[in-house]
Structure 1
Amino acid sequence: MTSKTNGSSPPDKLTPQQQAMPEVNTLTAADISASLKAGLADFLARPVMSGFFGLFYTIFGILFVWCLVWLGKIWMIIPAAVGFPLVAPFAAAGLYEMSRRMQNNEDFGWSDILTVMANQRKREMGWMAFVTLFIFWVWTYQIRLWLAITLQNASFSDFDRFLNIVFFTPQGWTFLAIGTCVGAFLSAVLFSVTVVAMPMLLDRETNFISAMITSIRVVTGNPVVMLSWAAIISVTMLLSMLPAFLGLIFTLPILGHTTWHLYQRAVSPAEG
């Protein structure tokens, strides 16, 4: 492991009410490379089970877009497709648990992983799901707001007309510019608070506030490396969605497993 610790040591003799924040490690590009190799190895070790989570995410995405078409919400298709990867960290919870068990050489089956995921509702993961879905909701409604402001009374009778207005009119370019900036900000916020928090909540007993703070510390302590990882995730997810979301069957599991191994390198193990 190429990481090295960065930060002060936790105080001695903590009271039961106190909880030491974990040490955050310094990461390099080698950590991303090694994590990707480990993530791919995890996927190849259990391709059917890993692919199941990717397939579930893919089917949900297809149904989501179909519902928008059925409801006549044509204008929501592109924003929804772009914002859809925002909820991927929560969707990958089962993949984190699989990687954790494989790393510890534990045997497991479908019931073991699904039971652990079901039990997360009794822990802090539910609050992280709320944070994730709330930011996705903000993303959706800010798009609706900017559509109303920039495109005003434009009619989107079909998807082709919507694309024509967005990509070939000055008002559409304004909408794209504003939406891209706001979307980049919301994506950065969500990435910062979840990239380490999600696997951390599965790995140890802690509260979601501490997990989010630790995640932010990892990102701010390793801005270049973590922004590079965010770029890899974004480009991979968006390209995977082009063939009717089908690429996500493979890329989501690999990225999920990789995130677990990067978390292991970014945060020092819990004591005891």
Structure 2
Amino acid sequence: MASFHVMSDARGMHVQPKVRRITTADLKDALRLGVEDFWAKPSHYVFLCLIYPIVGLILTRWSSGSNAIQLVYPLMSGFALVGPFAALGLYEISRRRELGMNTSWRRALDIRHSPALFSIAAIGFMLLVLFLLWIYTAQAIYTGLFGSQSPASVGGFLREVLTTSRGWMLILLGNAAGFVFAVIVLATTVVAFPLLLDRDVGAVSAIETSARAVIKNPLQMALWGLTVAVLLVIGSIPLFAGLAVVVPILGHATWHLYRRTVEPERAQQVRRPM
């Protein structure tokens, strides 16, 4: 039963799980195991993740029909910001498979019974705020370079972006801003959600553990973030259809990355009462 505690665990303690140093081999192994989890019941996971390409198409259609063509790319790339939260059900499936439990796709909904539900929701809300800030930032950059007038057509907008100096500046500034947001999300949530599903340590400890994992493994985590970004782009290209496969693989792989990055519960260190 979930209880309202996000600053500490259920005992009112601030838990500091021990973080391991990982290698590139661990990243490859996490991806391999993610693929294995996916292939265990691929049709179930594709069905479960069809919502991602559908939402992508709806957002693209909305932005085009609402004279907000300039937001299509920010919306597509912004998926990576909320991806850690969107993959919650997949972490749960991998957790259950690891324990030899029922892994029906319906079991992905069992996260609603997690004792850390409020902590999970708190971090999910943080990601939503970051996503909205990213969209606002992208629009502000566009307005600063092109003014408040929306693009008249997709073709005209692409020509303007690819053949003019202000278009190249839009690409440069937009991707730089997006990189900052992506780093923030990676540093605060790379293992946060799997950790909370595994043990109720509280939102603050989960975010802190993710940050320590990135600080301890900067090159490996940078490579992981790049891998996630590249796979999401590849999955988005064919009308977002590839996301129905890419998202479950990445979700399962993230669970296994967590297992390689954070020591088991018996090794956790309790620092102080909150």
1:4-41 deviations in whole A, cap 9, x for unaligned? xxxxxxxxxxxx53333000000001101111111111
- Structure 1 residue 188: Cα displacement: 0.6
After the TM superposition, which of the residue ranges 48-57 and 32-41 deviates more from structure 2? 48-57
Residue among 18, 21, 25 paired with 2:20: 25
1:134 aligns with 2:129: yes
Question: What TM-score, normalized to structure 1?
Answer: 0.89
Residue among 228, 234, 238 paired with 1:239: 234
How has the CA–CA distance of structure 1 residues 99 and 258 changed in structure 2, closer, same or farther, with 3 Å as cutoff? Answer: same
How has the CA–CA distance of structure 1 residues 85 and 18 changed in structure 2, closer, same or farther, with 3 Å as cutoff? Answer: closer
Residue among 47, 61, 65 paired with 2:60: 65
Residue among 246, 251, 255 paired with 1:251: 246
How has the CA–CA distance of structure 1 residues 166 and 111 changed in structure 2, closer, same or farther, with 3 Å as cutoff? Answer: same
Give the whole-Å Cα distance in 2 for the aligned partners of 1:177 and 1:225. 25
Give the whole-Å Cα distance in 2 for the aligned partners of 1:132 and 1:120. 20
Give the whole-Å Cα distance in 1 for the aligned partners of 2:50 and 2:150. 35
- Structure 1 residue 139: Cα displacement: 0.6
After the TM superposition, which of the residue ranges 67-76 and 243-252 deviates more from structure 2? 67-76
How has the CA–CA distance of structure 1 residues 155 and 17 changed in structure 2, closer, same or farther, with 3 Å as cutoff? Answer: closer
- Taking only aligned residues, the RMSD between alpha carbons, in angstroms, comes to 1.7
How has the CA–CA distance of structure 1 residues 96 and 174 changed in structure 2, closer, same or farther, with 3 Å as cutoff? Answer: same
After the TM superposition, which of the residue ranges 143-152 and 254-263 deviates more from structure 2? 143-152
Question: What TM-score, normalized to structure 2?
Answer: 0.89
Query: Are the equivalent residues in 2 in contact too, given 1:93–1:117 (CA < 8 A)?
Result: no
How has the CA–CA distance of structure 1 residues 155 and 137 changed in structure 2, closer, same or farther, with 3 Å as cutoff? Answer: closer
Alignment of 1:1-272 (within 5 A): 16-117=11-112, 122-152=117-147, 155-271=150-266
- Structure 1 residue 84: Cα displacement: 2.0
1:171-197 deviations in whole A, cap 9, x for unaligned? 111111111111101111111111110
Give the whole-Å Cα distance in 1 for the aligned partners of 2:43 and 2:212. 35
- Structure 1 residue 72: Cα displacement: 2.0
How has the CA–CA distance of structure 1 residues 200 and 121 changed in structure 2, closer, same or farther, with 3 Å as cutoff? Answer: closer
User: Secondary structure of the equivalent of 1:26?
Assistant: coil
Give the whole-Å Cα distance in 2 for the aligned partners of 1:233 and 1:108. 24
Identity of aligned residues (%): 33
Equivalent residues, number: 257
Gaps of 5+ in 2: 1-10, 268-274
Give the whole-Å Cα distance in 2 for the aligned partners of 1:82 and 1:116. 26
Gaps of 5+ in 1: 1-15
Give the whole-Å Cα distance in 1 for the aligned partners of 2:173 and 2:251. 30
Query: Are the equivalent residues in 2 in contact too, given 1:120–1:126 (CA < 8 A)?
Result: no
- Structure 1 residue 201: Cα displacement: 1.2
